[in-house]
Amino acid sequence: MLFRFVSVCLLSSACLSADPREEIPAKVPAARAILDAWQADRPEKAERRLHVVLWTPSDREPAPRYRERLSAILHDIRDFYAREMNRIGFGPRTLKFDHDKDGLVRIHVVKGTKPYAHYRTESGGEIRNECLRPLRAAGIDPENETLVIFCNMSNWDPEKRTISQNSPYYAGGTHRNGTAWQVDSPILDLENLDKHEPKVRDGQYGHISIGRYNSIFIGGVCHELGHALGLPHNLERDDEREAFGTALMGSGNRTYGEERRGEGKGSFLTLAHALRLASHPIFCGSVKGIHIKANAVTSELKITQRDKGFVFSGRVTADPPVYGVVAYMDPDGGGDYNATTATAVPDKEGRFELDCQALAPDKPAQLRVVFLQANGVASGFLSNTPYRYAYRVDKEGRADIRAAAMRLALQPLVDAVNSRDEVRAKSLLETAGIAADPRAVEIGKRFAATMAPPKSREVPAAAESVALSDLGATSEKTGYGPPVRDRLPAPGDFLAAGGELFAHGFYAHTPAVHEWNLDGSWKTLRGKVGIADGFGGSVRFLIEGDGRELWKSPLVKGTALLPFDVKLDGVKKLTLRTEDGGDGNRQDWALWLEPVLQK
């Protein structure tokens, strides 16, 4: 989304690699050779276009000169993408529009069914639905096209020179379709972009020049269109910032065109995102294989230390072929806005190597890898790629990749367990790569055992400790998915939180309750709590004994791991609860990690 503050991370000095301009000729020709060769073989050409709507509430008329203003803005954004794609080496691939006879962009005007007061920032879905019938009547299939909907939801007072907006302003999409919601206003005008005066007072951005206002909101159009085309957020690396300015899909929405006022270097498109746009049908004019789903298959994946960062390498095969691999190094906090990137192009055998050095110090983080195929599909959007690996970075900027390395070593076991191949799972537990690490063996054995229905373990009377997941619970309820132990629900994966892997514990998506009957002989319960890596919920954890609250966590968010050590003297009914942190439970993949009863 547009309206989010992005702080610039101080990256480790290791990210100051060679001039990023040298990266382009080293990679882009190889990527183009793969992409162009596949598209040229039995080509399927098509002129896909971006379709533009001006939507207005029932009690409002469009702002003055909307055709001229919005056409000039869209043409400038078209030229920005063309210039950046050409600079990077893909030629002037860019947006395409339908035009009227006078050369202006064809804009479909849609009148809403309700007055201004009815609509809110969250009304994007309702507004889009009101646009569907007029678009279909114009011969456009909204479900298979990319749309930009300008909403006439701003409030401009020319006497006070104040402006505010109550408009949807977000976007999403893929290579097949997408929608970007924008806001129009009488002062949204390309002619104002280079002006230092006059000043206006914006409801969110304060007292700013009219040029800065247009940087923010024209840049916002350009940024949100990126999302509609399938681009996630990312932060420029230090070397990229020095050479080019601010990444469009980071906070580049606020720096667009600022170089025209002499206020900065402006916005640029990263190589990571140019690679992705190169195969988008609007940009490349090919719809060959557009409905083929992502099918990249990887092997030989490994992560190894290099300098302060690391290298993620392996082999990939796919049809259509993979022409680019993108890594996002995403430090904790800030969503994906502060994720820096590394890129690679597979060789003829499908081998690739991602050199990941742009790391934020003193933070847990997650590596996410996306494989780009020649038909425009990717192995997964940034948030749901199956290739996600947690790591940590110390105060000196050095990455700790031990958990990620173990995760990769155990991946074949995960695949065997998920396919219920007991023979292969047993064989993998005996391989040198796993067997040499006692911790990996423990985690692997526990995970492999989840193929069978859970059983309660007979605890010897003399036992001084027992893993809580070995005891049969009298009641288990979770807010989403089945209550499982020693793993996450399907598709099965390890209990991973805070950049660490855990051998046993409980998945407890909120709201969740787990209860046990004890004999009163256990003295303490020790363990940790957290949220599964890759999820952004907020959760509170509670431990009760015989109906009394024994421990309650503060709000747990992100990659935080919180230990607990609770006295249980005489407790016969043990209850573990997880509760939503107040922001809904959609991301609340809460975990009780290695809880152990002790005497």
Cα–Cα distance measured from residue 154 to residue 253, given in angstroms and rounded to the nearest whole number? 18
The DSSP-derived string for 480-494 is SS---BSSBTTTTB-
When pLDDT is averaged across residues 435-458 and rounded to a whole number, the result is 86
CATH architecture of 465-598: Sandwich (2.60)
Residue 583's nearest CA partner among 544, 535, 543 is 535
Q: Between residues 263 and 380, which one has the greater pLDDT? A: 263
Question: Any idea which of 106-110, 303-307, 401-405 has the lowest mean pLDDT?
Answer: 401-405
The residues, any chain, with a CB within 8 Å of residue 39's CB and separated by 6 or more, are 284, 286, 288, 374
pLDDT above 90: percentage of residues in the chain: 82
Neighbours of 514 (CB within 10 A): 23
Q: Between residues 8 and 345, which one has the greater pLDDT? A: 345
Residue 533: predicted pLDDT: 86
pLDDT digits (tens, 9 = 90+) for 14-50: 334 457 778 999 999 999 999 999 999 999 999 999 9
When pLDDT is averaged across residues 101-114 and rounded to a whole number, the result is 98
Query: For residues 558 and 529, is the Cβ–Cβ distance under 8 A?
Result: no
**Site of tokens 């076991």:** 413
Is the sign of the CA dihedral 445, 451, 454, 458 positive or negative? negative
- Name the amino acid, one letter, at 551: W
Cα–Cα distance measured from residue 63 to residue 109, given in angstroms and rounded to the nearest whole number? 12
When pLDDT is averaged across residues 284-301 and rounded to a whole number, the result is 95
Band (pLDDT 50/70/90 cuts) for residue 431 is: confident
Query: For residues 364 and 559, is the Cβ–Cβ distance under 8 A?
Result: yes
| Token pair in block for residue 383 | 């948030």
Q: Residue 391 pLDDT more than 70?
A: yes
Residue 1's nearest CA partner among 110, 147, 85, 121 is 121
pLDDT digits (tens, 9 = 90+) for 478-495: 999 999 999 999 778 899
Residue 1: predicted pLDDT: 37
Cα–Cα distance measured from residue 324 to residue 378, given in angstroms and rounded to the nearest whole number? 10
Measured at the alpha carbon of residue 98, what is the angle toward residues 253 and 181, in degrees to the nearest 5? 35
Residue 548: predicted pLDDT: 96
Residue 102: predicted pLDDT: 97
Q: Residue 380 pLDDT more than 70?
A: no
Q: Residue 13 pLDDT more than 70?
A: no
558: phi > 0 → left, psi -120 to 50 → alpha, else beta; which? left
| Token pair in block for residue 108 | 């479909």
Alpha carbon distances (Å) from 450 to 407, 505, 510, 573, 577: 17, 12, 22, 26, 23
pLDDT digits (tens, 9 = 90+) for 580-599: 998 889 889 999 999 999 99
When pLDDT is averaged across residues 457-461 and rounded to a whole number, the result is 76
**Site of tokens 């247009």:** 214
Residue 379: predicted pLDDT: 83
pLDDT digits (tens, 9 = 90+) for 178-190: 999 999 999 999 9
Residue 484: predicted pLDDT: 93
Residue 515's nearest CA partner among 472, 456, 548 is 472
pLDDT digits (tens, 9 = 90+) for 213-252: 999 999 999 999 999 999 999 999 999 999 999 999 999 9
By DSSP bridging, strand 573-580 and strand 512-517 are antiparallel
Band (pLDDT 50/70/90 cuts) for residue 10 is: very low
Which CATH superfamily includes the segment(s) 297-400? Immunoglobulins (2.60.40.10)
| Token pair in block for residue 139 | 């011969």
29: DSSP letter = H
Residue 384: predicted pLDDT: 55
**Site of tokens 């809880």:** 595
Domain boundaries defined on the chain: 48-284, 297-400, 407-449, 465-598
Residue 7: predicted pLDDT: 31
When pLDDT is averaged across residues 5-19 and rounded to a whole number, the result is 40
The beta strands (E) that lie in 14-133 are given as 50-56, 107-111
The mean predicted confidence, pLDDT, of the chain is 92
The residues, any chain, with a CB within 8 Å of residue 461's CB and separated by 6 or more, are none
When pLDDT is averaged across residues 182-211 and rounded to a whole number, the result is 96
Cα–Cα distance measured from residue 267 to residue 245, given in angstroms and rounded to the nearest whole number? 6
Band (pLDDT 50/70/90 cuts) for residue 466 is: very high
Q: Residue 511 pLDDT more than 50?
A: yes
CATH architecture of 48-284: 3-Layer(aba) Sandwich (3.40)
Band (pLDDT 50/70/90 cuts) for residue 446 is: very high
pLDDT digits (tens, 9 = 90+) for 56-80: 999 999 999 999 999 999 999 999 9
Query: For residues 147 and 53, is the Cβ–Cβ distance under 8 A?
Result: yes
Residue 339: predicted pLDDT: 94
